[in-house]
Structure 1
Amino acid sequence: MKIIDKYLLKSFLITFTTVFVILFFIFVLQSIWLFIAELAGKDLDFVTIFKFIFYYSPIMVPLVLPLSILLASIMTFGSFAENYEFAAMKSGGISLRRAMKFLIICTVVFSAIAFLFANNIIPEAQYRFVNLRKNILQTKPAMAIGEGQFNKIGATTTIKVDKKSGDNGEFLEGITMHMKKGEFSPITTVIKAKRGVLKSDETTNLLQLDLIDGNYYEDIYSQKMEEREKLPFAKSSFKKYTINIDLAKLNGASEEGGEIINAYNMLNMSELKYTIDSLQLNYNKDVISYSENLDKTSQSLTNVLEHTGENNLVVPIKTEQSNDLLKIIPNEKKSIIFDVAKSNISNTIFTLDGYSTDLEMKKNNINDYWIGYYDKILVAYSCLLMFFIGAPLGAIIRKGGLGLPIVFAVLIFIIFNFANTFGKKLAGQDALHPFIGVAAGALILTPFAILVTYRATNDMGLTIDLDWLINPIKNIFNKLTNDKLQSTNTQTNEQ
């Protein structure tokens, strides 16, 4: 390795390390803020909090690493161009392509490390992180419920307690719970109890909440507007009422944090592929099973008629052949046929809706695993992509430091991250192929990376010459305008 290559590599690595540490610290703090409700006021020791942050930190690496490479490459090459160091290199016969050679190799190494990290370290870290939260809740179940505030459990339940006592805060006083039948259900249930006890069992994934001396209120939903305006409800009292709380819902207490409990985020690529094959096999079996069930359902009309004896219709021998089947059925039997057919159709539609919903959920689940599979590959590619955008862009804008490079880096990364997030959302809903959804940002920015790399290595700048496209349009427009003027002048002269 020549001195110039060592100098370039050293400058890049120093900038990259500084940027990575700062961004990693910022992203980790911002992400930990999502779980601040679980950490604040819960009497956790320093070791537990350190483990909490330590296990969650690796999740930020796939987000921070590409951004660090992008910003470091823009700052490094922008500084070289701004200080005319590239001009000195070119005068010595070293082109931009040659200057990027060892930095490309360095970025390939970063990409390989990012892939290994995403495929091995992050799944293990997420598994340990989720289990740490679960163990905390099992050993200190009251940690899930803050005192004097409403705590959200899943998407349908909130709970508030006035006071906690006991060695682990398991004895509760002044309990108020709000529960819904479903996330979008208009029916709300309110439970108020004087006392309660939280119990946990390490062999299960449930917390048991025993409520003592309380009342139970439930809204009664009516189809009529007049009845709903009266706000009807049912009330009952109890001496003891037991509720089971799923720890998985507590692990996903926040919308953003809920992403980490998905099983596909805890598997490497080989485990994901094995799981996807199993899920796809079960999905195909369900499709075949549902199809067979529908075939059986289609025979229900005939079966009902056979069991009721109504299919023993006497058809006159001399009746002319007709394409209308109803003409050969006596009038007194038609009402029975219509009722059975109507019931059969309603049941079939209801069954189809159930099958469709079930298959859609299973297909979306398979897509989630494919997203996790392709995401590990995208992490490696995004490192290379960001370098091939940042390095030539820095050489073109000729600005180092923390000013213009940060503006370009943030703008590019927002586009990249937004496209990926939007693409994954569509892919999870089976609106896009999982690979296209995961690689949406890369597909958008790859042509830009090729363009800026080509123009930077050929000293062409960012200004694009569109005369080859505009001039022919101008010539056509001018010709049409001249022809119209000549026609107008000719008509004027003739008059």
Structure 2
Amino acid sequence: MKKLDKLILGSFLGPFLLTFLVVDFILLTVNMLKYFDEIFGKGLGFWIYMELIGYFVISISPMALPLAVLLSSLMTFGNLGEHFELTAIKSSGISLLRALRPIGIFVIILAFAAYLSNNFLVPKVNLKTFSLLYDMRMKSPALDIKAGVFYDGIPGYSIKVNEKVGDFGLKDIVIYNHSNGLQGNLNVTLADSGAMEPFFNENYMRLSLYNGQNYEETRATRGISEKPVEFRRTTFDENIIIFDLDAFRLNRTDEDAWSTNRSIKNISEIKIGLDSISTLVNDEQFQNYQMAESIFPFFTRGRKLNPTDEILERKALDDTVRVQKSREERAKRDSLEQIENLKKPDSTNILIENPESRNLAIREDSVLKKSVTVTSIPARSDSIFTKRKLAKDRKLLSLTDSSVKARISTFDSSFNDGPGPEIVEKKPIRTASLTKEEKDLIDSVVNKRGYFSNAITMALNNSRNLKNNFDQKKLRIDLHEREYRRYQIAWYQKYTQAFACFVMFMIGAPLGAIIKKGGLGMPVLISIIFFIIYYMLTISGEKWAKEGLVDPLFGTWFSNLCLIPFGLFFLKQARKDARLFEPDFYVEIWRKLQKRYKVLNPKRI
């Protein structure tokens, strides 16, 4: 590596690391503020919050990288231009593109690393972030009883203390017990003093009450005319109540509960999800054809409502995959059963060492097989029983055959000896059309019995049912297609967020060479403007893609496609040493326009 490359790359790495940390901190603060009320004030440990912050830092890094590249490249070339180092580089015969090469190579490597992070690291971190964040949000607030205020953080109880003494002492205690699910203050406990302290590794809380009374009343279940309800009053010198603090502990949820979220999937898993959604959509469309054919049997009697070739091909492919999966599962289950059977002692697997007994067993097996093939009834392993059974079956078959033959012979004889077939008189077939009286009679029968109105009612009911079913199917298909587009967006984002680093470098480096000002003034302002534009274009493109207005591929790449022309324009102007941010540049353009206008319109002047 040449000294010039080391100089430019060294001047870029420092601002890049600094701006990346600053941008990551800003985005971290913005994301943490969304959940501030839900995760803080619950008595969690310091390392729990540090774990959540670490997950957030990694998950928002893909968004922070483009802004960090934009700001650091703008500051780097702004400083080089401000100190006339860029002028010296150009005067020595080195072009601007050659000066951009070391940082460009670094940004390409950074974009590839961002892609790997988006595809492998960020999904796993998102899984842990969702799980931990959900557990923190579901945890109850920390146990903090304040004097003079009712505290209802313990499920089923409402406690009021007028004065707190030290860490555990309490005075003038009022407790409303709602643990039985009863509405109203029917179970009230009053005490002069008490003490509350945790025990058993802070899993339970012991509340000791002294010198108090307990009032308990049974809820009335009938009207006014019933007998007075039971009322109990108990006086005690000491009463101990144990509270379970399970709601105050952080219970970690199984991470498999988030396995269907697209944010925790890499590209290969997203493709599997897309294939599954396509199968669901195809099944819904295939069922639409089947349902329509079943609702209108009259119109489909002579023809079929055949689905399109694409639906049939997809259906055949899905059915093949299902059959293959079921076979694999069945084979796996059978193999497991065979292994278990081999482990168990079985009498049929015992080897027979005596040759005579082995020959006897073979003869018995052959007899068993013959009995099964003849009678289709499982026989015993006893050879004597098998012989008797075979003899009975053969006798029964012979009797059956003889009876059938006798019946056939009697039928033939009766048929041959009879008087012959009867002569059936053929009625004349009418060829004339219906008369007017006959037509009126048929119409009167149809109208009086309501055949026509019933047919119309049935047709309307079938149409309504078909429309309602189609609407429901269409709604489900729309939901599946929307989820399909979301999966596609999550897939393409892994590429677009990485490519955005290179786009921001194309904008920031030429702008720095044009502005020729470093520091945190003008570069920060311009970087924020372009990042806001990039963020707005990204959100707009993804929203269009989610709604199905544009293709998801175009929607995710929309922001990059809009900003690439800006980068090429700034690069062209930087190579010409254009002064885009100086007033003289625009004054000169205005004068040229005025001269051209005078040349085109001399008479009017």
- Both structures adopt the same fold (TM-score exceeding 0.5): yes
Unmatched 5+ residue regions in structure 1?
Answer: 149-160, 166-170, 176-192, 197-210, 216-236, 238-249, 252-259, 304-315, 321-326, 483-495
Cα distance in structure 1, aligned partners of 2:141 and 2:135: 11
Where in structure 2 are the equivalents of 1:80-159 lying within 5 Å?
80-135=80-135, 142-143=139-140
Query: How much has 1:392 moved relative to structure 2?
Result: 0.5
Out of 540, 546, 549, the residue aligned to residue 431 of structure 1 is 549
Match of 1:266 in 2: 264
For the residue of structure 2 that corresponds to 1:399, the secondary structure is: coil
Out of 507, 513, 520, the residue aligned to residue 402 of structure 1 is 520
Match of 1:30 in 2: 30
Query: How much has 1:342 moved relative to structure 2?
Result: 2.2
Contact kept, 8 Å, 2:124 with 2:264, in 1: the verdict is yes
Where in structure 2 are the equivalents of 1:295-374 lying within 5 Å?
295-299=293-297, 317=433, 331=447, 332-374=450-492
Cα distance in structure 2, aligned partners of 1:115 and 1:6: 26
Match of 1:163 in 2: 152
Aligned residues: 371
Match of 2:399 in 1: none
Match of 2:71 in 1: 71
Cα distance in structure 1, aligned partners of 2:107 and 2:300: 70
Query: How much has 1:62 moved relative to structure 2?
Result: 1.1
Contact kept, 8 Å, 1:194 with 1:212, in 2: the verdict is no
For the residue of structure 1 that corresponds to 2:182, the secondary structure is: strand
Q: Specify the code of the residue in structure 2 equivalent to 1:61.
A: S
Cα offsets for 1:194-248 (capped at 9, x unmatched): 735xxxxxxxxxxxxxx81139xxxxxxxxxxxxxxxxxxxxx9xxxxxxxxxxx
Match of 2:280 in 1: 282
Match of 1:208 in 2: none
Contact kept, 8 Å, 1:62 with 1:379, in 2: the verdict is yes
Query: How much has 1:56 moved relative to structure 2?
Result: 2.1
Match of 1:419 in 2: 537
Query: How much has 1:18 moved relative to structure 2?
Result: 0.8
Cα gap change, 1:33/1:341 in structure 2, threshold over 3 Å: closer, same or farther?
same
Contact kept, 8 Å, 2:66 with 2:504, in 1: the verdict is yes
Query: How much has 1:262 moved relative to structure 2?
Result: 6.9
Cα offsets for 1:127-146 (capped at 9, x unmatched): 11122234557xxx542899
In the superposition, the TM-score normalised over structure 2's length comes to 0.55
Q: Specify the code of the residue in structure 2 equivalent to 1:214.
A: Q
Query: How much has 1:425 moved relative to structure 2?
Result: 1.8
Q: Specify the code of the residue in structure 1 equivalent to 2:511.
A: L
Query: How much has 1:452 moved relative to structure 2?
Result: 1.2
Cα distance in structure 2, aligned partners of 1:33 and 1:454: 42
Cα distance in structure 2, aligned partners of 1:81 and 1:437: 37
Contact kept, 8 Å, 1:59 with 1:122, in 2: the verdict is yes
Cα distance in structure 2, aligned partners of 1:146 and 1:356: 50
Cα distance in structure 2, aligned partners of 1:121 and 1:212: 47
Cα gap change, 1:422/1:300 in structure 2, threshold over 3 Å: closer, same or farther?
farther
Cα gap change, 1:289/1:466 in structure 2, threshold over 3 Å: closer, same or farther?
farther
- When the two chains are superposed, the root-mean-square deviation of aligned CA atoms in Å is 3.8
Cα distance in structure 2, aligned partners of 1:194 and 1:425: 51
Match of 2:19 in 1: 19
Cα distance in structure 2, aligned partners of 1:94 and 1:328: 104
Match of 2:387 in 1: none
Cα offsets for 1:348-384 (capped at 9, x unmatched): 2211211111001001111111111100001110000
Matched, 1:195 2:178: yes
Cα offsets for 1:6-39 (capped at 9, x unmatched): 1110011111111111111121122112121232
Cα offsets for 1:279-327 (capped at 9, x unmatched): 2122222222223222322338999xxxxxxxxxxxx95699xxxxxx9
Cα distance in structure 2, aligned partners of 1:443 and 1:387: 14
Cα distance in structure 2, aligned partners of 1:476 and 1:280: 65
Cα distance in structure 1, aligned partners of 2:141 and 2:467: 43
Match of 1:213 in 2: 182
Larger radius of gyration: 2
Cα gap change, 1:58/1:328 in structure 2, threshold over 3 Å: closer, same or farther?
farther
Cα gap change, 1:195/1:365 in structure 2, threshold over 3 Å: closer, same or farther?
farther
Q: Specify the code of the residue in structure 2 equivalent to 1:280.
A: S
Out of 443, 449, 452, the residue aligned to residue 567 of structure 2 is 449
Cα distance in structure 2, aligned partners of 1:291 and 1:449: 52
Cα distance in structure 2, aligned partners of 1:273 and 1:214: 53
Contact kept, 8 Å, 2:76 with 2:518, in 1: the verdict is yes
Cα gap change, 1:132/1:337 in structure 2, threshold over 3 Å: closer, same or farther?
same
Match of 1:382 in 2: 500
Query: How much has 1:172 moved relative to structure 2?
Result: 3.7
Cα gap change, 1:162/1:391 in structure 2, threshold over 3 Å: closer, same or farther?
same
Cα gap change, 1:287/1:33 in structure 2, threshold over 3 Å: closer, same or farther?
same
Cα offsets for 1:358-416 (capped at 9, x unmatched): 00100111111111110000111000000001000111122211111111111111111
Q: Specify the code of the residue in structure 2 equivalent to 1:335.
A: S
Q: Specify the code of the residue in structure 2 equivalent to 1:348.
A: L
Match of 2:10 in 1: 10
Cα distance in structure 1, aligned partners of 2:445 and 2:144: 73
- Work out the percentage of aligned pairs sharing the same amino acid: 28
In the superposition, the TM-score normalised over structure 1's length comes to 0.67
Query: How much has 1:90 moved relative to structure 2?
Result: 1.1
Cα offsets for 1:437-483 (capped at 9, x unmatched): 1112111111111111122123344469999x989x9699959x98x
Match of 1:226 in 2: none
Cα offsets for 1:31-62 (capped at 9, x unmatched): 11212123222111112111111122211101
Matched, 1:40 2:40: yes
Query: How much has 1:333 moved relative to structure 2?
Result: 3.4
Out of 576, 596, 604, the residue aligned to residue 458 of structure 1 is 576
For the residue of structure 2 that corresponds to 1:65, the secondary structure is: helix
Cα distance in structure 1, aligned partners of 2:509 and 2:132: 41
Cα distance in structure 2, aligned partners of 1:338 and 1:146: 70
Cα distance in structure 2, aligned partners of 1:290 and 1:146: 57
Contact kept, 8 Å, 2:293 with 2:300, in 1: the verdict is no
Cα gap change, 1:74/1:342 in structure 2, threshold over 3 Å: closer, same or farther?
same
Cα gap change, 1:173/1:291 in structure 2, threshold over 3 Å: closer, same or farther?
farther
Cα gap change, 1:329/1:11 in structure 2, threshold over 3 Å: closer, same or farther?
farther
Q: Specify the code of the residue in structure 1 equivalent to 2:178.
A: R
Cα gap change, 1:336/1:129 in structure 2, threshold over 3 Å: closer, same or farther?
same
For the residue of structure 2 that corresponds to 1:420, the secondary structure is: helix
Cα offsets for 1:55-89 (capped at 9, x unmatched): 22211101111000001111111121122211111
For the residue of structure 2 that corresponds to 1:100, the secondary structure is: helix
Q: Specify the code of the residue in structure 2 equivalent to 1:143.
A: S
Query: How much has 1:335 moved relative to structure 2?
Result: 2.3
For the residue of structure 1 that corresponds to 2:153, the secondary structure is: strand
Match of 1:61 in 2: 61
